[in-house]
Amino acid sequence: MSTTEHRLLPHSEIGKLLNSKAFSDTVKTWPQHLIFTLNMLLQNQQPQFLCWGDDLLFFYNQAFYDAFLSENNNHDYLGKSFKRITSEILSELILPLEKTLNAREPLSIEDLEIKFEGRNKTYWTFHFIPLQKQENLAEGVLVSCQDDTTKFKASRKLSKLTSRFTNIVKQAPIGVLIISSRTKLIDTINWKYRKLFNKNYKVAVGDSFEDALPQTPFDLKSEILKTLETGKSFQLAEIPISLSQNDTSKIHYYNFLGEAIKDENEVITGLILATTEVTDSVTAKQSVYESENRFKNLVLQSPVPIAVFHGPDHIIKIANDTMLNNIWRKDYDSCIDQKLLDVFPELEHQKFPSLLDKVYKTGQPHSEKEALATIEGKDGVRKFYFDFDYSPIYEADHIVTGLIITAVDVTEKVTSRKRIEKTETRLRIATEAAELATWELDLQSKSLSHSKRLPHILGYPESDTLTKEFIRSRTVPEDLDTILIPAFKKALKTGTYFYEVRTRKKDNSIIWIRTHGKVFYDDKGTPTKLFGTLREITLEKRNEQELKDNEQKFRLLADSMPQKIWTANTDGVLDYYNQTVYDYTGHTPETLNPSNWLTIVHPDDKAENEFLWRRAIETGEDFIFEHRFIRYDGQYRWQLSRAIPQRDEKGQIQRWVGTSTDIQDQKMFLQELERQVKERTKLLGEANEKLESSIEELQRMNEELQSFAYISSHDLQEPLRKIQIFSSRILDLEKDNLSETGTNYFNRMQNAAHRMQVLIKDLLTYSRTNTSTRTFEKTDLNTVLDEVKIDLKELIKEHNVTIEIGELCTAYIIPFQFIQLMNNLINNSIKFAREGVPPVIKIDSVIDKGSTFKLEQLTADGEYCHIKISDNGIGFDPEYGEKIFEVFERLHTRTAYEGTGIGLAIVKKIVENHDGFIFAQGEENKGVTFNIYIPTDIS
């Protein structure tokens, strides 16, 4: 055999060691099947070792080394005889090794305890396999090692559990019967099960399971066999079984629970039958059921609305007819076994669900009186007032399982009380508003009860209690004897009590009081109570007396007046005439009465008189009519009658007061005046004809003026232009030939022509302010001023002028005229500037009522735009404030300041064209201010 055939694989540490020089010579002598076995061993991941030959030469793999020899880091035992190993643990394997080698049969040792120092105990199984090349000869033993520590511990635990289970079964307080699935015999039976049934005292392990079953109405045997076959458990509850004791049969109740017993492979190995007697529970349950039925019947028959809820969701379990029909107004089927909020979702935002939850959780009852609830039933949504009670329902373990609800409908009572309270409130408000005191007198005991206002009226503290005798004692004696006491006696007969008397207050001041009362009688007709009110009427009495006094004064005054005065009531019936009426008509109070007053009216005036009087009564408008009254001598004279309604503070008509004034003389005068007016009207017509002729002449003259203006603007200016042109050419061409005097004359001639031209131009402008078409436009004065500044741009720059502009209004103006106005005023300020002082011109405006400006030229209610233009120029003496606006008026010589004296006259004319007003305020060397007022309304 070559060396390569005996080579060991060096993949592991041990393989490398066996290939080293230490073993090289030995390995060469090893047979091939030994090397093959070693190669297999070295590659195995499970712990294995090999003992070879009679000396049991020891070889092992890395897994075995790690498990058993890791403390020997030098592999001292490798290739040595196993018998020489000093390990106490491995020395126990020598005998099994020798036995396997000699007997040539496999051998196993299970659950061998291995304990290394510093490690936990482990449990191993060793499988010894003989290695045979020939049938009757074993050359070695291969040992596989299996760590069964986990399995061993589980088995031991299972053993303990089984033992414990057996003990538990034997000592269990319930009957336990274990049946073998294979033999169908009793495998285990505890003492409790033996004593459950009288006949089963002698049943023992190994007996047929049928012998251990009681006689029941149910086929218990079939249920057990079915479970043993299918593995499906069964449960029988409250099974009645008749048992005999002392020759007496009695029904007992049992619960049976059958559960299949399965091994680790889910194979059914048996059945455990747990049996408990529940006779007491069933009996108690039946008692409870009977009690519940009695309770339920009581609830259902109760006239009080009652319901029973179950669980935290308040499932409706019971509701009597009163609750269903009167309160809920719903069908039985739509409520029972339903959640409260599913049946009554409208309760979700009311307080009741939270109260139910609180009672259910805390077990504390809750009651309320007159609680308002909104409930929707078959007839719609209704509001109820309830006196309700929520009480918890407890189980035996004192756990709340439900609630009992009682709800007494007190809606009618609450509604009635609220109506009474509302009525009482209204009465109290009414009495307080009317300043009434209320009182009640017991006619039997003579005791008096009263409101707080009664002592207040009499000047005493509101907390005082006054008696009947005390109140009478404060009454003025005269009124007590003649009014109060007779009124009381009369009330006992008629049932109505009324009087007005004077009484003394606490401070002895006297006031008037009025009492109204009503007597109440018992069944026998005897007066028992007297209810009434009391009010102070001092002011009314004083006003009543004043009214009487005033009426007397009125009659005296009316009788002394020359006018006819009469009065009428609200229906239009005349009820008074002054003495003048009687004197004029010759009637007496007996012959002239409210029913025949029309007899003094002229027959032609009666119909219209009656119509107008009736309309005045119906509408409340003043009555005014001119008609004729007959005088005592039979002559009719014209009268102007006027009647005015007299109203109270609320505007209600109380009466009519009328006067009739004799206007006969005025009538005659008016007739004469009408005659004269007709004559004057005729004369006026003739005058109008002459006026129309004058207007035509005026129009003709105006046309001639227009022609003159045209001639002035063209024909008159043409010679002036030629004079200026020719004089300019002479000065330019003949300058050297002219003397100084001649040159001066020509310059003076040019200036005169220029002034004449400017004068003609200003005169035309002045005249056009009267004749031009007046077209008003709504214009922003800033726009006007911008245009003026452009026209005067060079002049403003030349004189270093500053124009300060404030708030300018928008007004209806004639734009081109207002541009002329602003141009003239700014030119005026520049022209009359102080020498050496740059001109500063300020312009602003404001809109306000005419009354604000306090100028008699302005309408007080009109709205005006006040434009103020001021400068810092030379000003003027205030006495010339009006003169400066006149045509051709100048305050300075022409040589001092240029101008024609027409510019400010044009400004004034433009302001007048706008229905405005202008005036100037000035002071010498302090400038001038022009105030312009133009109306904002073009109408």
Interval 300-322: pLDDT, tens: 777 788 899 999 999 998 888 88
Asked if 915 contacts 862 with a C-beta cutoff of 8 angstroms, the reply is: no
- Average pLDDT of span 810-832: 88
CATH topology classification for 663-765: Helix Hairpins (1.10.287)
SS3 content of the chain, % helix, strand, coil (to 5): 45, 30, 30
- Average pLDDT of span 167-184: 80
How far is residue 362's CA from residue 393's CA, in Å, rounded to a whole number? 12
Q: What is the CATH number of domain 567-661?
A: 3.30.450.20
**Position with higher pLDDT, 49 vs 698:** 49
Q: What is the pLDDT of residue 772?
A: 53
- Average pLDDT of span 157-167: 71
Q: What is the pLDDT of residue 1?
A: 36
Tell me if residue 802 falls in helix, strand or coil: strand
Q: Taking CA 429 as the corner, what is the angle to CA 427 and CA 435, rounded to the nearest 5 degrees?
A: 100
CA 621 to chain centroid, in Å, comes to 51
Q: Same topology for domains 434-536 and 567-661, yes or no? A: yes
Q: What is the pLDDT of residue 2?
A: 39
Residue 562 has pLDDT above 90, yes or no: no
Helix (H), strand (E) at residue 793: helix 793-798
Interval 714-743: pLDDT, tens: 555 666 666 767 677 777 777 777 777 777
Q: Which CATH number fits domain 172-277: 3.30.470.20, 3.40.50.1980, 3.30.450.20, 3.90.1570.10?
A: 3.30.450.20
Residue 929 has pLDDT above 90, yes or no: yes
Q: Which CATH number fits domain 434-536: 3.30.450.20, 3.40.50.2000, 1.10.1740.10, 3.40.220.10?
A: 3.30.450.20
Residue 637 has pLDDT above 80, yes or no: yes
Confidence of residue 137 (pLDDT cuts 50, 70, 90): confident
Residue 482 has pLDDT above 90, yes or no: yes
Whole-model pTM?
Answer: 0.31
Q: What is the pLDDT of residue 206?
A: 85
Interval 394-406: pLDDT, tens: 876 788 989 989 8
The Cα-based distances of 356 to 376, 383, 509 in angstroms read 19, 20, 66
H-type helices in 45-196, by residue range? 62-64, 88-91, 94-103, 149-171, 191-196
- Average pLDDT of span 519-543: 88
CATH topology classification for 4-153: Beta-Lactamase (3.30.450)
For the ranges 106-110, 210-214, 483-487, 600-604, which has the lowest average pLDDT? 210-214
Neighbouring CB atoms inside 10 A of 410's CB total: 18
Pair of tokens at residue 163: 């033992």
- 602 Cβ neighbours under 8 A, 6+ residues apart: 627, 628, 629, 630, 636
Q: What is the pLDDT of residue 770?
A: 55
How far is residue 924's CA from residue 916's CA, in Å, rounded to a whole number? 27
Buried b or exposed e, range 667-695, using 16+ CB within 10 angstroms = beeeeeeeeeeeeeeeeeeeeeeeeeeee
- Average pLDDT of span 129-151: 86
- Average pLDDT of span 407-415: 87
Question: What long-range pairs does 106-113 form, CB within 8 A, spacing at least 24?
Answer: 106/130, 110/148, 111/148, 111/152
Asked if 234 contacts 227 with a C-beta cutoff of 8 angstroms, the reply is: yes
Neighbouring CB atoms inside 10 A of 51's CB total: 26
CATH class of 772-935: alpha beta
**Position with higher pLDDT, 111 vs 312:** 312
Interval 249-276: pLDDT, tens: 888 888 999 999 888 888 998 999 888 8
- 595 Cβ neighbours under 8 A, 6+ residues apart: none
For the ranges 196-205, 517-526, 701-710, which has the lowest average pLDDT? 701-710
The rounded percent of the chain whose pLDDT value lies above 90 is 27
Instruction: Sketch the domain layout of the chain as residue ranges.
Output: 4-153, 172-277, 289-415, 434-536, 567-661, 663-765, 772-935
CATH topology classification for 289-415: Beta-Lactamase (3.30.450)
Interval 319-377: pLDDT, tens: 888 888 888 999 989 999 999 999 999 999 999 999 999 999 998 999 999 899 999 99
Asked if 454 contacts 439 with a C-beta cutoff of 8 angstroms, the reply is: yes
User: Of the candidates 835, 844, 822, which has an alpha carbon nearest to the alpha carbon of residue 904?
Assistant: 822
User: Of the candidates 78, 157, 66, which has an alpha carbon nearest to the alpha carbon of residue 119?
Assistant: 66
DSSP state of 177: E
Tell me the pLDDT of the chain averaged across its residues: 83
Residue 577 has pLDDT above 60, yes or no: yes
Residue 892 has pLDDT above 70, yes or no: no
Neighbouring CB atoms inside 10 A of 235's CB total: 11
Q: What is the pLDDT of residue 751?
A: 63
The residue type at 342: D
Q: Which of 160-169, 390-399, 783-792 has the highest mean pLDDT?
A: 783-792
459 bridge partner residues: none
Helix (H), strand (E) at residue 370: strand 366-377
